[in-house]
Amino acid sequence: MTAHQRPEVLAQAVLDALNRAGVRGMNLLELTGETGYTKSQVKRGISVLRESLPGVKGSDAVYTWDPTDRVYRTFYLPTVAEIYEILRMRSEATRSSRILTGTIIPHARKSRSKQLRMLKRHYEFVVDEATDLLEPVE
């Protein structure tokens, strides 16, 4: 393989490998062996999977990361899909909160800083609630 591949090529190789694996799914090491790409190339293919492929873009196609088995899947398992979406929501809220804290709030005009701090608190609330949802039930 060449050092540089287009994101669509990487995403298609990952999708094909995951479709062949079916319900079992594949971990990162198995994906590198199956696709013939390096870890970073496979991670890049995973990261652009939903955005780069026309058949997956804007569809309800399932792609999940299962933190319990540590595998990627394209097969729909309701509990795994729910956990994956909560993880994504938490990471996006964390990222947005950090952007607000590090760059936007310090440079905001005084008239906007109150609303921005309130928005930051909302993001922090989402992160806390998502973390609570992901904790095991006793």
Domain extent for 121: 79-134
- Residue at a domain's end among 57, 75, 93: 75
pLDDT digits (tens, 9 = 90+) for 74-112: 877 777 778 878 888 888 899 888 888 888 878 777 767
Could you tell me if residue 50 is inside a domain?
Answer: yes
Q: What CATH number does the domain containing 20 carry?
A: 1.10.10.10
Q: Assess whether 32 and 60 both reside in one domain.
A: yes
92 and 55 co-located in one domain: no
Decide if 36 is inside a domain.
yes
Taking the whole predicted model, whether its pTM rises above 0.75 is answered as: no
Residues 51, 13 share a domain: yes
Mean pLDDT of 27-38: 94
Q: How many CA atoms lie within 13 A of 91 on its CB side?
A: 6
- Tell me the percentage of the chain whose pLDDT exceeds 90: 17
At 78 the pLDDT is 78
